[in-house]
Homo-oligomer: A and B are copies of this chain.
Protein backbone atom coordinates (compact mmCIF):
# COMPACT_ATOMS: atom_id res chain seq x y z
CA UNK A 1 0.00 0.00 0.00
CA UNK A 2 3.03 2.25 0.41
CA UNK A 3 4.00 2.43 -3.21
CA UNK A 4 1.44 3.69 -5.68
CA UNK A 5 0.55 1.58 -8.69
CA UNK A 6 1.62 3.14 -11.96
CA UNK A 7 -1.34 3.18 -14.32
CA UNK A 8 -1.69 3.75 -18.05
CA UNK A 9 -4.88 3.89 -20.11
CA UNK A 10 -5.01 2.21 -23.55
CA UNK A 11 -8.02 3.53 -25.48
CA UNK A 12 -9.48 6.95 -24.79
CA UNK A 13 -13.11 6.58 -25.88
CA UNK A 14 -15.89 7.30 -23.37
CA UNK A 15 -15.23 4.15 -21.29
CA UNK A 16 -11.47 4.69 -21.37
CA UNK A 17 -11.78 8.30 -20.21
CA UNK A 18 -14.23 7.31 -17.45
CA UNK A 19 -11.85 4.55 -16.32
CA UNK A 20 -8.86 6.88 -16.33
CA UNK A 21 -10.71 9.57 -14.36
CA UNK A 22 -11.77 7.03 -11.77
CA UNK A 23 -8.28 5.52 -11.52
CA UNK A 24 -6.78 9.02 -11.14
CA UNK A 25 -9.03 9.58 -8.10
CA UNK A 26 -7.70 6.54 -6.21
CA UNK A 27 -5.06 7.13 -3.52
CA UNK A 28 -3.27 3.93 -4.56
CA UNK A 29 -2.89 4.90 -8.23
CA UNK A 30 -0.55 7.16 -10.16
CA UNK A 31 -1.41 7.73 -13.82
CA UNK A 32 1.66 7.90 -16.05
CA UNK A 33 0.07 8.31 -19.49
CA UNK A 34 -2.45 7.30 -22.12
CA UNK A 35 -2.37 5.47 -25.45
CA UNK A 36 -4.70 5.90 -28.39
CA UNK A 37 -4.03 4.90 -31.97
CA UNK A 38 -6.33 7.69 -33.20
CA UNK A 39 -4.01 10.43 -34.58
CA UNK A 40 -6.56 13.04 -33.44
CA UNK A 41 -5.90 12.02 -29.84
CA UNK A 42 -2.25 10.95 -29.89
CA UNK A 43 0.10 13.76 -28.94
CA UNK A 44 -2.52 15.65 -26.95
CA UNK A 45 -2.27 16.53 -23.28
CA UNK A 46 -4.08 13.94 -21.15
CA UNK A 47 -5.38 16.64 -18.80
CA UNK A 48 -6.93 18.57 -21.68
CA UNK A 49 -8.43 15.44 -23.22
CA UNK A 50 -10.05 14.27 -19.98
CA UNK A 51 -10.67 17.58 -18.23
CA UNK A 52 -8.81 16.28 -15.18
CA UNK A 53 -6.44 18.87 -13.78
CA UNK A 54 -4.20 16.28 -12.13
CA UNK A 55 -3.46 14.67 -15.50
CA UNK A 56 -2.04 17.83 -17.08
CA UNK A 57 1.38 17.52 -18.68
CA UNK A 58 0.90 13.78 -19.13
CA UNK A 59 0.90 12.66 -22.76
CA UNK A 60 -1.30 10.56 -25.00
CA UNK A 61 1.03 8.25 -26.93
CA UNK A 62 0.16 6.61 -30.22
CA UNK A 63 1.67 3.25 -29.36
CA UNK A 64 2.64 1.03 -26.46
CA UNK A 65 6.27 1.36 -27.55
CA UNK A 66 6.14 5.15 -27.25
CA UNK A 67 4.62 4.96 -23.77
CA UNK A 68 7.19 2.41 -22.60
CA UNK A 69 10.03 4.64 -23.89
CA UNK A 70 8.85 7.23 -21.37
CA UNK A 71 8.06 4.93 -18.45
CA UNK A 72 6.66 1.53 -17.57
CA UNK A 73 3.34 1.18 -15.80
CA UNK A 74 2.48 -1.64 -13.37
CA UNK A 75 -0.88 -2.10 -15.02
CA UNK A 76 -2.72 -0.96 -18.14
CA UNK A 77 -6.45 -0.49 -18.47
CA UNK A 78 -7.27 -1.63 -22.00
CA UNK A 79 -10.55 -0.38 -23.48
CA UNK A 80 -9.92 -0.56 -27.20
CA UNK A 81 -11.65 -3.49 -28.94
CA UNK A 82 -14.34 -6.14 -28.45
CA UNK A 83 -12.73 -9.05 -30.34
CA UNK A 84 -9.97 -11.12 -28.75
CA UNK A 85 -8.31 -11.52 -32.16
CA UNK A 86 -8.06 -7.74 -32.51
CA UNK A 87 -6.86 -7.32 -28.92
CA UNK A 88 -4.27 -10.08 -29.20
CA UNK A 89 -1.30 -8.17 -30.74
CA UNK A 90 -1.79 -5.31 -28.27
CA UNK A 91 -2.01 -7.66 -25.29
CA UNK A 92 0.96 -9.72 -26.46
CA UNK A 93 3.17 -6.65 -26.76
CA UNK A 94 2.23 -5.54 -23.23
CA UNK A 95 2.61 -9.04 -21.78
CA UNK A 96 6.10 -9.43 -23.29
CA UNK A 97 7.16 -6.55 -21.05
CA UNK A 98 5.72 -8.35 -17.99
CA UNK A 99 3.06 -5.70 -17.55
CA UNK A 100 -0.45 -6.62 -16.42
CA UNK A 101 -3.71 -5.68 -18.11
CA UNK A 102 -7.34 -5.28 -17.07
CA UNK A 103 -9.29 -5.18 -20.32
CA UNK A 104 -12.88 -4.44 -21.29
CA UNK A 105 -12.43 -6.65 -24.41
CA UNK A 106 -15.64 -8.67 -24.35
CA UNK A 107 -14.28 -11.86 -25.91
CA UNK A 108 -11.37 -11.86 -23.45
CA UNK A 109 -13.84 -12.87 -20.72
CA UNK A 110 -13.42 -16.45 -21.94
CA UNK A 111 -10.83 -16.25 -24.72
CA UNK A 112 -10.45 -20.02 -25.11
CA UNK A 113 -13.97 -20.19 -26.57
CA UNK A 114 -13.11 -18.76 -30.00
CA UNK A 115 -9.31 -18.75 -30.06
CA UNK A 116 -7.95 -21.51 -27.81
CA UNK A 117 -4.51 -21.54 -29.46
CA UNK A 118 -4.06 -17.76 -29.09
CA UNK A 119 -5.28 -17.96 -25.50
CA UNK A 120 -2.73 -20.68 -24.65
CA UNK A 121 0.02 -18.68 -26.31
CA UNK A 122 -0.80 -15.48 -24.41
CA UNK A 123 -1.06 -17.46 -21.16
CA UNK A 124 2.39 -18.92 -21.78
CA UNK A 125 3.91 -15.48 -22.38
CA UNK A 126 2.30 -14.12 -19.19
CA UNK A 127 3.62 -17.01 -17.11
CA UNK A 128 7.14 -16.46 -18.43
CA UNK A 129 7.15 -12.68 -17.91
CA UNK A 130 5.03 -12.45 -14.75
CA UNK A 131 2.20 -10.52 -16.42
CA UNK A 132 -1.43 -11.06 -15.46
CA UNK A 133 -4.23 -10.39 -17.95
CA UNK A 134 -7.93 -10.50 -17.21
CA UNK A 135 -11.17 -9.10 -18.64
CA UNK A 136 -13.57 -7.11 -16.50
CA UNK A 137 -16.80 -5.27 -17.06
CA UNK A 138 -20.50 -5.21 -16.34
CA UNK A 139 -21.70 -7.26 -19.28
CA UNK A 140 -19.84 -9.42 -19.92
CA UNK A 141 -17.99 -9.56 -16.62
CA UNK A 142 -20.65 -9.22 -13.96
CA UNK A 143 -24.43 -9.23 -14.41
CA UNK A 144 -24.80 -12.21 -16.73
CA UNK A 145 -21.89 -14.36 -15.47
CA UNK A 146 -20.10 -13.36 -12.25
CA UNK A 147 -23.26 -12.57 -10.29
CA UNK A 148 -25.10 -15.82 -11.20
CA UNK A 149 -21.93 -17.79 -10.40
CA UNK A 150 -21.66 -16.02 -7.04
CA UNK A 151 -25.26 -17.01 -6.24
CA UNK A 152 -24.48 -20.63 -7.11
CA UNK A 153 -21.94 -20.51 -4.27
CA UNK A 154 -24.74 -21.02 -1.74
CA UNK A 155 -26.36 -23.79 -3.77
CA UNK A 156 -26.31 -27.51 -3.06
CA UNK A 157 -27.25 -28.25 -6.62
CA UNK A 158 -28.01 -26.22 -9.74
CA UNK A 159 -30.15 -27.59 -12.56
CA UNK A 160 -30.39 -24.45 -14.70
CA UNK A 161 -29.40 -20.78 -14.77
CA UNK A 162 -31.48 -18.16 -16.56
CA UNK A 163 -30.47 -14.51 -16.84
CA UNK A 164 -32.39 -11.62 -18.38
CA UNK A 165 -31.07 -8.12 -18.87
CA UNK A 166 -33.11 -5.24 -20.26
CA UNK A 167 -31.15 -2.04 -20.87
CA UNK A 168 -32.67 1.31 -21.76
CA UNK A 169 -30.03 2.31 -24.30
CA UNK A 170 -31.24 5.92 -24.35
CA UNK A 171 -29.35 6.38 -21.08
CA UNK A 172 -26.07 5.05 -22.54
CA UNK A 173 -23.06 6.44 -24.41
CA UNK A 174 -23.12 7.27 -28.14
CA UNK A 175 -20.89 4.38 -29.32
CA UNK A 176 -23.22 1.92 -27.61
CA UNK A 177 -26.32 3.49 -29.17
CA UNK A 178 -24.69 2.97 -32.56
CA UNK A 179 -23.39 -0.54 -31.75
CA UNK A 180 -26.95 -1.72 -31.15
CA UNK A 181 -27.84 -0.61 -34.68
CA UNK A 182 -29.94 2.47 -33.90
CA UNK A 183 -31.44 3.96 -37.07
CA UNK A 184 -30.67 1.03 -39.38
CA UNK A 185 -33.37 -0.57 -41.53
CA UNK A 186 -34.04 -4.02 -40.03
CA UNK A 187 -32.59 -5.90 -43.02
CA UNK A 188 -29.39 -3.88 -42.83
CA UNK A 189 -29.24 -4.55 -39.07
CA UNK A 190 -29.50 -8.29 -39.67
CA UNK A 191 -26.80 -8.17 -42.36
CA UNK A 192 -24.41 -6.29 -40.08
CA UNK A 193 -25.25 -8.55 -37.13
CA UNK A 194 -24.23 -11.59 -39.20
CA UNK A 195 -20.97 -9.80 -40.02
CA UNK A 196 -20.40 -8.96 -36.38
CA UNK A 197 -20.47 -5.22 -37.12
CA UNK A 198 -23.38 -4.47 -34.79
CA UNK A 199 -24.61 -6.33 -31.76
CA UNK A 200 -23.54 -7.07 -28.21
CA UNK A 201 -20.25 -8.95 -27.98
CA UNK A 202 -19.58 -11.42 -25.22
CA UNK A 203 -22.91 -13.14 -24.64
CA UNK A 204 -21.53 -16.52 -25.68
CA UNK A 205 -18.46 -15.88 -23.55
CA UNK A 206 -20.65 -15.21 -20.48
CA UNK A 207 -22.45 -18.46 -21.07
CA UNK A 208 -19.24 -20.40 -21.65
CA UNK A 209 -17.72 -18.98 -18.45
CA UNK A 210 -20.72 -20.11 -16.41
CA UNK A 211 -20.67 -23.60 -17.94
CA UNK A 212 -16.89 -23.92 -17.47
CA UNK A 213 -16.99 -22.77 -13.83
CA UNK A 214 -19.90 -25.07 -12.95
CA UNK A 215 -18.11 -27.94 -14.67
CA UNK A 216 -20.95 -28.43 -17.17
CA UNK A 217 -20.14 -30.03 -20.50
CA UNK A 218 -22.49 -28.11 -22.75
CA UNK A 219 -23.34 -29.39 -26.17
CA UNK A 220 -23.78 -26.59 -28.69
CA UNK A 221 -24.05 -22.94 -27.67
CA UNK A 222 -26.64 -21.27 -29.89
CA UNK A 223 -27.01 -17.53 -30.23
CA UNK A 224 -29.77 -15.63 -31.98
CA UNK A 225 -30.29 -11.94 -32.43
CA UNK A 226 -32.70 -9.60 -34.10
CA UNK A 227 -33.57 -5.93 -34.33
CA UNK A 228 -36.05 -4.25 -32.02
CA UNK A 229 -38.02 -1.74 -34.13
CA UNK A 230 -39.00 1.75 -33.00
CA UNK A 231 -42.72 2.03 -32.38
CA UNK A 232 -42.43 5.80 -32.76
CA UNK A 233 -39.70 8.29 -33.68
CA UNK A 234 -36.95 8.44 -31.02
CA UNK A 235 -34.38 11.19 -30.51
CA UNK A 236 -31.45 10.88 -28.11
CA UNK A 237 -28.37 13.10 -27.67
CA UNK A 238 -26.56 10.86 -30.15
CA UNK A 239 -29.01 9.36 -32.64
CA UNK A 240 -32.37 9.93 -34.31
CA UNK A 241 -34.50 6.90 -35.23
CA UNK A 242 -37.62 6.98 -37.41
CA UNK A 243 -40.62 4.84 -36.60
CA UNK A 244 -40.13 1.29 -37.98
CA UNK A 245 -36.33 1.43 -38.03
CA UNK A 246 -33.99 -0.37 -35.65
CA UNK A 247 -33.82 1.13 -32.14
CA UNK A 248 -31.81 -1.70 -30.58
CA UNK A 249 -31.46 -5.42 -30.29
CA UNK A 250 -32.65 -8.62 -28.67
CA UNK A 251 -29.96 -11.31 -28.36
CA UNK A 252 -30.23 -14.67 -26.71
CA UNK A 253 -27.70 -17.41 -26.06
CA UNK A 254 -28.65 -20.89 -24.93
CA UNK A 255 -26.87 -24.11 -24.11
CA UNK A 256 -28.03 -27.63 -23.49
CA UNK A 257 -26.62 -30.36 -21.28
CA UNK A 258 -27.92 -33.86 -22.04
CA UNK A 259 -30.50 -32.43 -24.44
CA UNK A 260 -32.08 -30.12 -21.86
CA UNK A 261 -31.73 -26.32 -22.02
CA UNK A 262 -29.88 -25.43 -18.82
CA UNK A 263 -28.41 -22.01 -19.57
CA UNK A 264 -30.20 -19.07 -21.15
CA UNK A 265 -28.90 -15.53 -21.34
CA UNK A 266 -31.42 -13.09 -22.75
CA UNK A 267 -30.40 -9.50 -23.50
CA UNK A 268 -32.54 -6.63 -24.73
CA UNK A 269 -30.82 -3.30 -25.31
CA UNK A 270 -32.86 -0.68 -27.08
CA UNK A 271 -33.71 2.99 -26.96
CA UNK A 272 -36.49 3.94 -24.54
CA UNK A 273 -36.80 0.34 -23.26
CA UNK A 274 -39.40 0.19 -20.50
CA UNK A 275 -38.70 -1.45 -17.13
CA UNK A 276 -34.93 -1.91 -17.45
CA UNK A 277 -33.73 -4.59 -15.03
CA UNK A 278 -31.42 -7.53 -14.42
CA UNK A 279 -33.00 -10.81 -13.35
CA UNK A 280 -31.25 -14.04 -12.40
CA UNK A 281 -32.94 -17.34 -11.75
CA UNK A 282 -31.01 -20.22 -10.21
CA UNK A 283 -33.06 -23.39 -10.64
CA UNK A 284 -31.62 -25.50 -7.89
CA UNK A 285 -31.55 -26.29 -4.20
CA UNK A 286 -32.36 -23.77 -2.87
CA UNK A 287 -34.08 -21.93 -5.71
CA UNK A 288 -32.93 -18.30 -5.96
CA UNK A 289 -34.58 -15.46 -7.84
CA UNK A 290 -32.79 -12.16 -7.87
CA UNK A 291 -33.86 -8.90 -9.44
CA UNK A 292 -32.09 -5.56 -9.76
CA UNK A 293 -34.62 -2.90 -10.69
CA UNK A 294 -33.24 -0.48 -13.30
CA UNK A 295 -30.33 -2.93 -13.76
CA UNK A 296 -26.68 -2.22 -13.13
CA UNK A 297 -26.13 0.97 -15.15
CA UNK A 298 -23.54 0.16 -17.77
CA UNK A 299 -21.01 2.87 -18.49
CA UNK A 300 -20.21 4.14 -15.02
CA UNK A 301 -20.24 0.62 -13.63
CA UNK A 302 -17.84 -0.59 -16.32
CA UNK A 303 -15.24 1.95 -15.23
CA UNK A 304 -15.80 0.77 -11.64
CA UNK A 305 -15.42 -2.88 -12.63
CA UNK A 306 -12.11 -2.21 -14.41
CA UNK A 307 -10.54 -0.07 -11.70
CA UNK A 308 -11.74 -2.33 -8.86
CA UNK A 309 -10.05 -5.29 -10.56
CA UNK A 310 -6.51 -3.83 -10.70
CA UNK A 311 -5.18 -4.62 -7.25
CA UNK A 312 -6.96 -7.95 -7.00
CA UNK A 313 -5.37 -8.93 -10.31
CA UNK A 314 -1.87 -8.07 -9.12
CA UNK A 315 -2.34 -10.34 -6.09
CA UNK A 316 -3.05 -13.34 -8.37
CA UNK A 317 -0.68 -15.76 -10.06
CA UNK A 318 0.72 -14.71 -13.47
CA UNK A 319 -1.18 -15.88 -16.53
CA UNK A 320 -4.11 -15.17 -18.80
CA UNK A 321 -6.74 -15.39 -16.07
CA UNK A 322 -10.49 -15.69 -15.75
CA UNK A 323 -12.40 -13.34 -13.44
CA UNK A 324 -13.29 -16.44 -11.44
CA UNK A 325 -9.58 -16.87 -10.59
CA UNK A 326 -9.55 -13.58 -8.67
CA UNK A 327 -10.75 -12.92 -5.13
CA UNK A 328 -14.30 -11.67 -4.53
CA UNK A 329 -14.98 -8.37 -6.37
CA UNK A 330 -15.39 -5.27 -4.21
CA UNK A 331 -14.95 -1.51 -4.36
CA UNK A 332 -11.28 -0.67 -4.06
Give the top 5 A-B pairs by smallest Cβ distance, nearest first. Answer: A153-B329, A286-B297, A152-B331, A154-B301, A156-B304
Question: Does any Cβ of B come within 8 Å of A158's Cβ?
Answer: yes
Contact of A301 among B149, B286, B303 (CB under 8 A): B286
Which of A40-48, A71-79, A319-327 forms contacts with chain B? A319-327
Please indicate which of the listed interface residues A156, A213, A288, A326 has the most CB atoms of chain B within 10 Å of its own CB.
Answer: A156
What's the Cα separation between A291 and B138 when bound, in Å?
18
Number of copies: 2
What's the Cα separation between A255 and B260 when bound, in Å?
48
What's the Cα separation between A202 and B134 when bound, in Å?
34
Contact of A330 among B152, B156, B285 (CB under 8 A): B152
> A214–B330 contact, CB under 8 A?
yes
A277 to chain B, nearest CB (A): 10
Please indicate which of the listed interface residues A147, A324, A327 has the most CB atoms of chain B within 10 Å of its own CB.
Answer: A327
What's the Cα separation between A170 and B158 when bound, in Å?
25
Residue-wise interface mask of A (274-311) relative to B, using a CB-CB cutoff of 8 A (1 in contact, 0 not)? 00000000001111111111101100111111011100
A308 contacts which chain B residues (CB < 8 A)?
152-155
A98 to chain B, nearest CB (A): 22
What's the Cα separation between A134 and B278 when bound, in Å?
31
Given contacts A328-B323, A331-B214, contact A305 B153 (CB under 8 A): yes
